[in-house]
Amino acid sequence: MSFIKFELNLETFIDELNQKLEINNNKITELLNIEKKTYANFVKPFEMMDEYLEHFFTPISHINAVNNSEQSQEVYASALPLITEYSTIISQNLDIYKAMKEILKNDTLNDEQKKVLEENVLHFELSGAHLDEEKKKRLQEIHLRKSTLSNDFSQNLLDATNAYEKVITNEKDVEGIPSSDLDPARYKEDGKTIYKFSLQMPSYIAYMTYGPTQSIREELYKAYTTRAPENALIIDEILKLKQEMSQLLGYETYSDYSLATKMAPNRDTVFNFIDELSENSFKQAQVELDELRAIAPSELKSFDSAYYSEILKKEKYDIDEEEYRIYFEQNSVVSGMFNFLEKLFGISVKKVDETLWDEKAFSYDVYVAGEQRARLYFDLEARKSKRGGAWMHNFQSHCIDEQGEEQLASAFVVCNFAPSTQTNPSLLRHDDVVTLFHEMGHALHHVLSTVNENSISGVNGVEWDAVEFPSQFLENFAYEKEVLKLFALHHETKEVIPEEMIDKLIRAKNFQGALQMLRQLEFASFDFRLHDGAFEGEEAVQKLLDAVRQKTSLIKPPEYNKFQNGFAHIFAGGYAAGYYSYKWAEVLSADAFFAIKDQGIFDTQLGRDYLNIILAKGGSQSMDILFKDLMGRAPQTNSLLRLSGIAS
């Protein structure tokens, strides 16, 4: 039950990868030569081969994201075609497909094993295993090209983000910016103090929220929304390849193909879902925007909204985000979060003494009822070599291997919080706390699984439009008074955050809730409609985005805004024709959250049931079934409107 040591040798990685792929191919030949194939002698070793390959490949993927260098880029770019070609060929192997179908039909199986085979059969069909050789060959070419393009899209975005820097020399241009944001930007050059702001999230958000000079806000905004223009050509090619792939597999559009593995049954359901939420949000969003316009001295522009929103928020709720940061020191937040999880689920942790990829990365072992269950790795601070944003990435999955031994799960939690220095701790915004809880929700979903089959354990096998449920569920608790008091301590005096500050934070929680809802629905609508038709060329993509914005964006963005070129979720991530999943899953999370809150949050029966049903069972059953097992009923959409402060 030991964990894999995190290690990576960039010099030898490609040679080792080629060796492992060759061994796997030979192993598959051996498996196919078995005369009487069963789950035990065929499916289990086949599944574990994939698990072990994941163990080997994850470190290069992880390092390329958190410690990006020319060498890591080169190795990762060289590895992608190899792993993609291997995966594509395996997924189209007709003999494996037939063997899976035969075992599903004839072998005696438990529920987990049956689900594994059903998922495998669907996966092989979505990969074209049943097609003729010419179509299979074309699908292989498409998958290989798509993986290269997605990596190029992501790398272009990272390079463009790192290439930009705004140098400010006039002190008036930084007046009002909190010291915790200003200190990292301050430099001495030729005896003079200057300030450098970048497109890295902590730096960019700081100036857009507090920067007093409109022209600089616009300059930063323009730099951010025009990043990586070369991605327009990549988008065009990706869309064409996805459409061709979908039609080869018998689907009219990529959206149809995407829904084959989601909870939502069809396209109309998704469109109706987005439209219903939009209609419920629009009237209140207009009121919220009118409030914002009323305090702006001139016409409100896209690059002004964050700045004047902060002013309005202070006026309405007497709340200053900066005042809260002194109570959210990173180490205190992490420690308090685990204290909360112990009260909610009965889990505990123990810090691990090990050397990782960065001196600020750290890890914990996770225990349930005193039994070791998992390991979590954390990398929480921003640095130039690190991809922006926040994410969870699974490493090992809980399962029983071919020898009957239990393998425990592990995962990475990655964020980009303000970096600590020798003299200053890492102080988080409350939004950062919410982000940490969100990614922790993903991580717990993966590592607390008790499923014995790796491909449906943890987040594996979970419908994509349900995978955000546990992360959104957990982030809701970051606004609860009892939870905040566990870790919101003044980083110097250790005093608990004052009651009135918590009350203000809770009151301000749904500030501009309808506007935020519409913004997410804009992304969801654009994504789904983009993959529900045949859009060719940058002009067609822009025209669609403009049409979507007519219904969802109450502030018209400037023409130079090319948001799509930075939409990594759908062009370099897994959310293509699935961005609606955030809101779809939020219905589940809001419903479950309110049910547990109404029971009292700590030490509730429903909290334990959530651990044993939603988290423990992973992808072994449809989330539709698991949710009904937990709640005793289907989800209710009015819970999401309630959570967002939108009157239904």
Q: Nearest CA to 3 among 447, 400, 458, 409?
A: 409
Query: Do 601 and 562 form a contact (C-beta atoms < 8 A)?
Result: no
Distant-in-sequence, close-in-space partners of 245: CB < 8 Å, separation ≥ 6: 139, 142, 143, 146, 254, 257
The answer to whether 492 is a known catalytic residue is no
Q: Nearest CA to 157 among 648, 565, 632?
A: 565
Give the up-direction half-sphere exposure of residue 471: CA atoms within 13 A in the CB hemisphere: 27
What does DSSP say about strands 406-407 and 409-417: parallel, antiparallel, or unpaired? unpaired
What residues are paired with 379 via a beta bridge? 414
Distance of CA 353 to the CA centre of its chain: 28
Query: Do 408 and 372 form a contact (C-beta atoms < 8 A)?
Result: yes
Burial of residue 5 (CB within 10 Å: 0-12, 13-18, 19+) is exposed
- What dihedral do alpha carbons 115, 117, 123, 127 form, nearest 10°? -170
Distance of CA 418 to the CA centre of its chain: 19
Query: Do 518 and 278 form a contact (C-beta atoms < 8 A)?
Result: yes
3-state secondary structure of 582: helix
Q: Catalytic residue, from 47, 322, 439, 453: name it.
A: 439
Q: Nearest CA to 44 among 106, 120, 105, 95?
A: 120
The size of the chain, in residues, is: 648
Handedness of CA 314, 319, 325, 331 (dihedral sign): negative
Query: Which two structure tokens, joined as six digits, stand for 132?
Result: 């003729």
What residues are paired with 375 via a beta bridge? 365, 410
State the Cα angle at 550 between 545 and 553, rounded to 5°: 85
Distance of CA 616 to the CA centre of its chain: 20
3-state percent breakdown (helix, strand, coil) of the chain, nearest 5: 60, 10, 30
Q: Nearest CA to 299 among 556, 559, 563, 561?
A: 556
Task: Please spell the DSSP secondary structure of 446-463, one letter per residue.
Answer: HHT---SSGGGSTTTT--
Distances, alpha carbon 511 to alpha carbons 103, 285, 458, 591, in Å: 55, 11, 34, 21
Give the separation between CA 298 and CA 572, rounded to whole angstroms.
38
Query: Do 251 and 257 form a contact (C-beta atoms < 8 A)?
Result: yes
Which residues have a catalytic role annotated? 439
